[in-house]
Amino acid sequence: MSLPRKIGFFLLLGLLIAKVVGVVMRGPSPMVLDARFYWELGGLVADGDWLLMQRPVAYRTPAYPWLIGLFRAACSDPLFALVCFQSVLWIATIGLIAALAAEISRSRRVVWVVVALAIPMLCSAVYVTTVLTETLFVFSVVLHLWTVARFTRQPTVAGGVFVGLTLGLAILTRPVAMLVWIADVVYVITCWYWIANPATKHLCRRRGWICVMLAGIVTVACVGPWLARNHALFGKAMLTEFVGRNIWIVTFQDGSGAGLELPDTDGAAQLKTQMGDGVWATLSDEQSWRHTWTVSNALTASGMDDPSADRLMKRVATDAIAEEPLQFARKAVRRLVNFWRTRATEIPAQLADLAADGTATREQLSEKFYGGQPVWGIKVPPVDTALRHRWSNWLAGNTLLMFATLASTMLLIWRRPTRAAGLWLGAILGYFATVTAVLEIPAYRYRMIVEPIVLLVIALAIVSLSTGAGGLKVWWGGLVKKFSGQKIRKKSAGTS
């Protein structure tokens, strides 16, 4: 690149980093609900209980508690170190998206587009200050996609190992990644057999498939200890038992949920009996039985172990769905659309927001919301303004982004050089959107998982359009030149 272009690129990169630094300066988000529970699990890991045998829960995977435990064991200020590390992960995620875009498009211009489009991405950056899995999970998924793209172009033993390791990390962070490998295999088959490019034309497919099997073995080896832990605690080799809690809320909650009534089945009768008549009467009077964690906590408080409670909730919910499948399907389709359109009306608060009214000191806030950890936080006017006017809180903007994502993916699939990647990335986007729509009430924190992939497909589409426009310009110029030359020759012949 020329010197002006280098300066321009580093200015864009500086703006991207400055945004993340500004977010971190506003302070950490409160450790409440899931965040507090993750912090407690991290404490067990720091004490040496790597498999969390002291907390027999079946609805968490261990990668994020391991990360917290590492910082709690090694750092004097673990919360600050964790937030800084997650900030680096967020920036690294954008870097991997740029590298993946260059890998797919074989063009360096796409890096500019990725960095420029990533600068307005603010809400996902706020999650670096939370003690939640989002930042680690997004990084692990994008890292996995990058390793798959490189492996597909040049399969090696080391590449297969890294593909398996990254997929194992993603699954151990959030189990929803467990079926991503299906899209990966489709991409490999498409690249190796259907739309082979010069880089993969002469590869040894037999060796490639051996490396693919190696990747699968490594993935199983990564999740194996957790499967063994759950078998020892609950008598079943499973990754998690959480589908029952997920499907309960989308089945019985009103609004985005199906709002179904409790079925008159043996499963429902067992659930009422397990809770006890008094507890069930209270939940029924207040209609709080529609709330997932109210029912889950009541079942575990009655003496039922964690996975058994989840299986019973799943049984009751599926019975209700079987009675009214059309109502459930209709709401599921609505949630699929709302996955893309839901506004980010609520994002995690930070210490700068909590301390804004001055009614509590930092020490009091630390004891109440941060487990006594040292805290920091100041107002950063540019970031504060950007958060108040964030794009993701604009329904029309989210709808426009949804159509832009769809159009970009279709463009990638339509163009032969990017067809395999378009099918692959479209399958990844569809997978996460569909699974979330079936099992969750739409919220921004679920959509932010696919934001980097949305960034990737839009950046690739922009570069494809610019390349196509350049090719069209050359073609049109050649046509005009040829036509003009013919007219000049005819005129000269007539004159002579």
DSSP readout, 297-346? HHHHHTT--HHHHHHHHHHHHHHHHHHSHHHHHHHHHHHHHHHHH-----
| Contact assessment for residue 260 and residue 328, using Cβ atoms and an 8 Å cutoff | yes
pLDDT given for residue 202 in this prediction: 59
Phi, psi of 466 (to 5 degrees): -65, -40
pLDDT at 493: 53
Residue 197 is encoded by which pair of tokens?
């490019």
- Smallest CA-to-CA distance from 171 within 225, 231, 106 is with 225
Distance CA 60, CA 35 (A): 12
User: How far, in Å, CA of 181 to CA of 145, rounded?
Assistant: 10
Report pLDDT for 362. Answer: 83
Token output for 115? 């960095």
Q: Alpha carbon of 24 to those of 16, 70, 80, 88, 247: distances in Å?
A: 13, 20, 9, 11, 35
Q: Report how far apart, in Å, the C-alpha atoms of 105 and of each of 41, 185, 367, 375, 412 are.
A: 42, 20, 51, 44, 10
Output b/e per residue, 104-140; b: 16+ Cβ within 10 A: bbeeeebbbbbbbbbeebbbbbbbbbbbbbbbbbbbb
Amino acid 196: pLDDT: 63
The secondary element (H helix, E strand) that includes residue 72 is helix 63-74
pLDDT along the chain (496 residues), means of 10: 78 93 94 92 93 89 95 93 96 96 89 92 93 95 96 91 96 94 93 70 76 94 94 89 88 87 90 87 84 88 87 92 91 92 88 80 86 89 90 90 94 91 95 92 90 95 76 47 54 52
Domain range summary for the chain, segments of one domain joined by +: 3-236+344-398, 243-333
Residue 468: the pLDDT is: 62
d(CA 57, CA 312): 16
Query: Do residues 233 and 227 touch, judged by C-beta distance below 8 A?
Result: no
Contacts of 206 (CB under 8 A, 6+ apart): none
